[in-house]
Amino acid sequence: MDEERFLGGWTRTKLAARTPEERYDIWKRAKSLHTADGNQLAREIELIGLPDETPVLPEADILTHVISDIIRSEAGKSALKEATLDGLPAIAGADDLIHEALGAKYRRNDKAVSTAQRLVAGKRERSYTSLRYDVFESDATLQHAVAELYERFVEVGFLEVAGAPQPSVADLFGAAIQP
């Protein structure tokens, strides 16, 4: 007996053979049709499985580069900082700038929004550079790295300190990086 065919000639076997990201694209198109056949295909894809997170745009995609440039620009950095100071997620600051530059290409594209979120999250992760004590040659090298990191935290607004003495390694990171 032949397998049941869905909209566009898709079968369960063909859908299962696709990657979760490819199934996501098919699911998105099927949902956008707002028809019974489209909804049936979308439900079948949901049963087979979608990615855990919204897929991001490929790194080679021009939108990825534009979004990255906006986030890394002075206006983008300022918007990220301002949003966090207002108690909002950092992406809230860059969202308007990206939408202003790209319009519907950003706002109506889940992958573009997810890409922007990941780029902002990656930017923040890099500013929280993890330190391991054993990679430093001496305590002086470690203290220098901590001083640079501390200055970066103050610069981006993660620490608001006016005239306070620089904390020690233990003050900033606790016992986690002590030898």
Tens-place pLDDT, residues 44-86: 999 998 887 788 888 888 888 999 999 999 999 899 889 888 8
Determine the average pLDDT of the residues in 4-13: 90
Task: Tell me: pLDDT of 136 over 90.
Answer: no
Is 40's pLDDT higher than 90?
A: yes
Question: Minimum mean pLDDT among 6-20, 22-36, 83-97, 123-137: which range?
Answer: 123-137
pLDDT given for residue 84 in this prediction:
86
**Mean pLDDT on 20-40:** 90
Averaged pLDDT of the chain: 78
Query: What string of H, E and C letters represents the secondary structure of the chain?
Result: CCCCCCHHHCCHHHHHHCCHHHHHHHHHHHHHHCCHHHHHHHHHHHHHCCCCCCCCCCCCCHHHHHHHHHHHCHHHHHHHHHHHHCCCCHHHHHHHHHHHHHCHHHHCCHHHHHHHHHHHHHHHHHHCCCCCHHHCCCHHHHHHHHHHHHHHHHHHCCCCCCCCCCCCHHHHHHHHHCC
Range from 39-43, 52-56, 119-123, 141-145 carrying the lowest mean pLDDT: 141-145
Looking at residue 165, its pLDDT comes to 59
Choose between 50 and 133: higher pLDDT: 50
Torsional class of 114: left (φ above 0), alpha (ψ -120 to 50), beta (otherwise): alpha
pLDDT on residue 135? 45
Q: Is 135 exposed, middle or buried (0-12, 13-18, 19+ CB in 10 A)?
A: exposed
- In this prediction, residue 145 carries a pLDDT of 66
Q: Report domain extents, the chain.
A: 7-48, 62-127, 133-177
